Structure 1
Amino acid sequence: MSKFYLSIVLMLISCWATAAQDLPRPYFAIPPDLHQDANSITQLEDIAIDIRNINKMLVSKKKIVTILNKSGYRHIGAIAHYDNSRKIKKIEAKVYDEHGMEIEHFKQNDFSDLSAVEGGTLFSDSRKLALRYFPENFPVTVVFEVVSDLDNTAFIEPFLPYKDYYNSVVESKYSIKIRRGATLHTKLMNIDERFEHELNDDSFTITASNLKAIVPESHSPSLIEFVPQVITALDVFSYEGEKGDASSWRNFGNWMEDALFDDINDIDSETKAEIKQLVAPYTTHREKAKVLYQYMQSKTRYISVQVGIGGWKPMRASEVDELGYGDCKALTNYTKSLFEVAGIPAYYTILHSSPIKRDISSDIVSMQGNHAILAVPDGEDMIWLECTSQDTPFGFIGKNASDRDVLIVTPEGGKIVHTKKYTTQENELLTTGLVRLNEEGAIKAEVALISRGVQYGQRSGIDKQTSEIQDEYYKSYWDYIDNITIDKMAFEENKEEVFFKETIAFKALDYARKAGEEIILPLNVLNRSTYAPDRYKNRQRQLKLSLGFMDKDEVEIILPESMSIQFLPERAQVETPYGKYTSEVEKVSDHKLIYRRTFSIEPGTYGPEAYKEYRSFRKKVKRFDDQKIILTQ
């Protein structure tokens, strides 16, 4: 290194050291170990929350992030939300090159003003300012600062230094100060020796430094489950001018009933008369609930509406009845209001809706969740109703809502309960078929697939797609078969027994291949597992299998009269704590075979060392599913 360049480096480091609070570090001053596995490096994230009283909160954020490549661009995070109760007092961003020299400066007018909600939202006052900056050269450092003034104290931003994979953190700081009027509650999760924190009567602070980037691992807990985080909440809060009580889940539920639901269950006399006539032939609550659920589905559709007490207060039931649409809150409240007319108890339910299971945190009372469904008592159990779909069968909630802790609002207040868990046996796919092989090695197949449980939820709906999408879907499903042509598709959905049947006919050229005098016929035609989990030299995290399922296959294979069987695979069987597999082929006659197979996965969480065993199990399944029959002609 030349003396001149060295002097420049030392000067820059000296300048950074004397003004570290205002300027980003030059790229070369970031600790080298934080570069490993990183697409971006957060040099600093500083969140300061000043709760002046239960009606007013000032949030100041500063984030300095160095983007190392295009994949790290999404970690800039220069976005600020605003609405009628959240005002942006200050927002700006500066961009620095790898040497720490400023090259861009963005003020508030330079940010794009965008809707903060999805395109299907009919009404919403939620908006956001977003920096749309696309660097051409890397590394580049963005310094983003925003100060927001909030009239609500119901939602307090958590401490979450890791927000994504492939992002390391030099320093993360978080502080809350309460002036008066409330008590702060905190829930610390996955906080270790890298963190320093202090909780007093009127404040909370936590800092962390040198957090290395996290690399995703297959079949591990989701990021939010294992990263360090702190959730905070007030025992008394303000929400759109309404004073809330979060001292207990019971009191929180009572507040929701009084503040959000008290005046919105109105149904006009004409609809009431119609409801009473509909349920008159039935005696049980379950029968009546089913009729009214189907009535609701027949006359409403889902549209997001995010107005009224911060998007949490549902539309009035009478508005939904008149307009025929609503969001999850409105349709859930509307269904509940219909049930009230018929004398059926039902509870408004709040949950985290996601394919990745996430519970309402029961040990800190706060406004949580992103979705609403309805709970109907049925003896010792609950009937769970998804009210946003016109097609979902009565009592089916699927992968996004099952097997998780949720909040129900009862006449006695709020309660944390658990939704239905679909068992391995309930999540069934039954595949039956007839496969005919001709003398040229082509096959014709007639297949029936019947799915139940969560597999029903994953497969149903294809019948409502275009024929082009359906054709593409099945070619992808059987992607291990070359030269495939889908000839016929038929569908049957049974909402009473909750199953979905797909009847498919297809053909494929050259499925069986010649190898000298022999003909090689892959045995598993209709449900072959080609998946093998990734290999890790040093597995870091737990093995988590979130969903159990069971596949059962029985396929009749007809061979040409001109072919003779030379070799059939022996019965295969594998049993592990993570799942089971069996396959066998029965020779019914010289030209007729029956192939039977079962494959199941058991849900559970295991130590990191179990991953190697699970991977071995899946590799065996793949190998057995790839077994061949040898024929001669």
Structure 2
Amino acid sequence: MRVRLLFILFFLFINIKTSAQKNNYSVDLIPENLKTNANSVIRDQKDLIEIISISKVNIKNFKAITVFNKNGLSNIDAFEYFDKSRVVKSIEATVYSQAGVEIKKIKRKDFVDVSVAGDAGDITDSRVLHLNYTPTEYPFTLVYESEVETSNTAFLPKWYPINDFEESVQKSEFQISFPSDLGFKFKEINFEKDTPIQKKESVNKLIFSIENVESKKLEELSSYEFPYVIFGLDRFYLEGVEGNAKTWKDFGIWMNEKLLLGNDEVSEETKKKILELTSNTSDIIEKSKIVYKYVQDKNRYVSIQLGIGGWKPMLAKNVDRLGYGDCKALTNYTKALLKIAGIDSYYTIIYGDRDKKDLIEDFVSMQGNHVILAVPIDKKYVFLECTSQTEAFGFQGNFTDDRLALIVKPDGGEITRTNHYIDFDNSQITKGNIIVNDLRSISGNVQLKFKGNQYVYVSHEEFLTPEKLEETLKYRYSHLNGFTFNNFKVENNRDKVEFTENFNLSVKDYLKEINGEWVMNVNVFNQNSNIPKRYRTRKTGFKITHGFYDEDTIEILIPSNKKIIFKPEKIELENKFGKYLLEITILNDSKILFTRKLLLKKGKYESTDYELYRQFREQIAKSDNSKLILK
């Protein structure tokens, strides 16, 4: 009996050892160079995409990933979307220990099934199965497998050989097969000479692969963009509708005819209202402003992912009746109302994000994640953000500015660049008067004017409660201990796209007393303490996505029994990144003028420029902390 038991134990040990060796999921088998600075390592990844016909795609995914810490959990990506046209045929996962021993099997029923709706206001028929796994130890390896079938060929999976900073790749392969009559195409994005990507092409098959890529460390302000490959078809299928993406002209015609045409009916009551509101002017801009304001006052934004893959706008008459819609619906509704007023406008597809992203101009396909409206006025386009109830007419802000977009016209699509704001346009102008009293406290009044992208950050203040407003200002001026304010007034000039704040303030014990002398930081309102991180060897380039201009002029009145015994010298800095000026002018024995100007230029810069930029910001932070001494 004992011999038999020993035999069984030996057999089990051999099986476990053999299984671990077969799967190669022991963490010890990962090369040391791939573990360095890595939160996770892709051990093996295989994506198999089979385009069977214009209306059928089969997608198989296999991914083995070793996670070293909680920062690597987000790289697991074990989820699948599904709806009436996308079926999850299988989905499962297996967890292995550090030694490569299986410790948990996760079946389909263990995946969480939830709606894609982000909140209660979203409307969608899409759902997602996702893995909700909490590890008991690190490191561990998770193997994820799934198979999905969809009738939509408008959106084909992309290949991202490297998914994230601080993630290494041991092996990854992407294989896609396709019929020869659909106009298959692909484009390699951000491929660099030192990226070891292999490609094999045959008549109806394409294979990309990569091996042994070390993790890339995340650096502050990095402009590095990961390589990826996009795929598409000239002839595609979207929720029962065949499409044409051979040229942007063809694609625009298809989109206009299949998604927009006949979708502009509203009630007779609304028609009469629009004609009545616009009857007193023939000016296109004024009429457009009236219609835009009408839409803002009447409707609210709700995310909707119904219809043709979430791309077909809700009927204008339904928006008219319900008073809500998503970006597609509200844009189409505004377009319909402008048509009633006799104004042409065009549905425009774009990537909406504060980190600018262009549509890929030389790759015709379904792209973008947002829709705005283009109104042709005086041989240029005015772009309208139709989801906002507060946005100024024609103002885009940093969510849709300065990027390539697709304008959909009846005679075809047109790629154009949206309006951009030069650095000086994004301004914050501060003017004020400060009085220093005998108790080392300060009081006074200040006015701030915000324009361009700086307008975006404050324009919502007109709708804040007094409590929220106080919270906002105290956060902004958190460097002022004992800060209080009153008589706060705001003006939102939507015609000029300019937001103005006026308020009175007081700060107790603002000046510090040291050995009988009073020390004052003369830069009361706009202290910039942000200094970019220092790197011994900077690897990646960096970017300043949006430039800006700040100007402060503050008159400071000091007590008559005090004299200035020290003031900072004038400081001027200028280089490729911008300009900085700080100057203190003595107007008379009891009054000084503080002047500060900072221009920061947007742009992309080489890694070799980073230390110069860091020093520039360090000098600004030091100067912003300049002291005035009174006695």
TM-score, normalized by the shorter chain, greater than 0.5: yes
The match for 2:616 is: 617
Amino acid at match of 2:241: E
For 2:152, the equivalent position in structure 1 comes to: 152
How far off is 1:180 after superposition? Answer: 4.9
1:290 maps to 289
Deviations 1:228-258 (A, max 9, x none): 1101111110000110101011101111011
**Whole-angstrom distance in 2 between the partners of 1:12 and 1:583:** 71
Shift of 1:121: 4.0
- Asked whether the 8 Å contact 2:47–2:60 carries over to 1, the reply is yes
Corresponding letter in the other structure for 1:114: V
Query: How far apart are the structure 2 equivalents of 1:311 and 1:189?
Result: 26
Structure 1 residue 124 displacement after superposition = 0.7
Determine the structure 1 residue equivalent to 2:550. Answer: 551
Q: Is the 8 A contact 1:13 1:29 kept in 2?
A: no
TM-score (norm 1): 0.95
1:206 and 2:194 aligned: no
Residue 560, structure 1, aligned to residue 559, structure 2: yes
Asked if the contact 1:87/1:150 (under 8 Å) is kept, the reply is: yes
What is the distance in 2 between the residues matched to 1:37 and 1:471? 43
Following superposition of structure 1 onto structure 2, how do residues 100-115 of structure 1 map, counting pairs within 5 Å? 100-115=100-115
Is residue 293–residue 394 contact of structure 1 (8 Å, CA) maintained in 2?
yes
| Secondary structure, counterpart of 2:209 in structure 1 | strand
Worse-matched range after superposition: 473-482 or 151-160: 473-482
Counterpart amino acid of 2:601?
Answer: E
Contact 1:545 1:602 in 2 (8 A): yes
Moved more, 447-456 or 272-281: 272-281
Letter of the 2:97 counterpart:
D
Matches within 5 A, 1:32-51: 32-51=32-51
Can you give the 5+ residue segments of structure 2 that lack an aligned partner in the other structure? 1-11
Aligned to 1:4: none
User: Does the CA-based 8 Å contact 2:112-2:130 persist in structure 1?
Assistant: yes
Give the aligned partner of residue 8 of structure 2: none
Q: 1:464 maps to what in 2?
A: 463
User: Any residues of structure 2 matched to 1:378-393 within 5 Å, and which?
Assistant: 378-393=377-392
2:301–2:326 contact (8 Å) kept in structure 1: yes
Aligned to 1:28: 28
Aligned to 2:66: 66
Query: What is the count of residue pairs matched by the alignment?
Result: 618
The whole-number CA distance in structure 2 between the counterparts of 1:199 and 1:469 is: 59
Change (3 A) 1:11 1:91: closer
* Deviation by residue 1:350-409 (Cα, 9 ceiling, x = unmatched): 111000000011111111111100000112211000001111111011100000001110
**Map of 2:118 onto structure 1:** 118
Task: Please state if 1:402 is matched with 2:401.
Answer: yes
Please give the alpha-carbon distance, in whole angstroms, between the structure 2 residues aligned to 1:12 and 1:415: 61
Distance in 2 between residues matched to 1:553 and 1:206, nearest whole Å: 55
Q: Which runs of 5+ in 1 are unaligned?
A: 1-7
Distance (Å, rounded) in 1 between the aligned partners of 2:617 and 2:550: 14
Q: Residue type matched to 1:206 in 2?
A: F
Instruction: After TM superposition, list the pairs within 5 Å mapping 1:218-297 onto structure 2.
Output: 218-221=220-223, 226-297=225-296
Q: d(CA) in 2 for partners of 1:126 and 1:505?
A: 51
CA deviation vs aligned residue, 1:88-130 (integer Å, no higher than 9, x gap)? 0000011010001011111111111111131154421111011
**CA distance in 1: counterparts of 2:377 and 2:72, whole angstroms:** 50
Shift of the 153–385 alpha-carbon distance from structure 1 to 2, 3 Å rule, reads same
8 Å Cα contact 1:267/1:317 also seen in 2: yes
- Give the letter aligned to residue 212 of structure 1: E
The structural deviation recorded for 1:15 is 5.3
| Number of the residue aligned with 1:3 | none
- Displaced runs of 4 or more, over 6 A: 8-14
Check 1:102–1:431 CA distance in 2 against 1; reply closer, same or farther (3 A cut).
same
| SS at structure 2 position matched to 1:311 | coil
SS of the residue aligned with 2:222?
coil
- The answer (yes or no) to whether the contact 1:53–1:181 under 8 Å persists in 2 is no
Match of residue 53 from structure 1: 53
CA distance in structure 1 between the aligned counterparts of 2:562 and 2:462, rounded to whole angstroms? 38
1:98 equivalent to 2:98? Answer yes
Aligned residue for 2:319, secondary structure, equals helix
- Following superposition, the deviation at residue 469 of structure 1 comes to 2.8
Offset at residue 448 of structure 1 (A):
1.2
TM-score for the superposition, normalised by structure 2: 0.95
Greater shift in the superposed pair: 327-336 or 294-303: 294-303
Check conservation: 2:62, 2:146, Cα contact below 8 A. yes
Check conservation: 1:24, 1:64, Cα contact below 8 A.
no
The reply on whether 1:187 has 2:187 as its aligned counterpart is yes
Question: Structure 1 residue 496: deviation in Å?
Answer: 1.4
Q: Which residue of 2 aligns with 1:5?
A: none
Are 1:433 and 2:435 matched, yes or no? no
Amino acid paired to 1:464? F
How high is the sequence identity, in percent, across the aligned residues? 36
Q: Distance in 2 between matches of 1:578 and 1:628?
A: 26
Amino acid at match of 1:62: F
Contact persistence 1:279–1:288 (CA under 8 A): yes
Query: Partners in 2 of 1:533 and 1:175 — Cα distance?
Result: 41
Contact 2:25/2:96, CA 8 A, preserved across alignment: no
In structure 1, distance between residues paired with 2:44 and 2:115: 28
* Structure 2 CA distance for aligned equivalents of residues 516 and 24 of structure 1: 70
Q: Which amino acid aligns with 1:319?
A: N
Distance across 2 between alignment mates of 1:472 and 1:269: 46
The aligned residue for residue 575 of structure 1 is 574
What per-residue deviation string (whole Å, max 9, x for no partner) do you get for residues 487-546 of structure 1? 442211111111111123332222111111321111101111111111111111112111
Contact 2:426 2:453 in 1 (8 A): yes
Match of 1:453 in 2: 452
CA distance in 2 between counterparts of 1:522 and 1:265 reads 60
Deviation readout 1:555-610 (Å, 9 max, x if unpaired): 01111122111111121111111010111111111111111111010111121111
| Residue equivalent to 1:128 | 128
Label 1:277 to 1:545 Cα distance change in 2 as closer, same or farther (>3 A): same
Counterpart of 1:82 in structure 2 is: 82
Q: 1:444 to 1:11 in 2, by over 3 A?
A: farther
Q: Is the contact between residue 20 and residue 99 of structure 2 (CA under 8 Å) also seen in structure 1?
A: no
Contact 2:345 2:375 in 1 (8 A): yes
What residue in structure 1 maps to residue 4 of structure 2?
Answer: none
Give the whole-Å Cα distance in 2 for the aligned partners of 1:139 and 1:9: 22
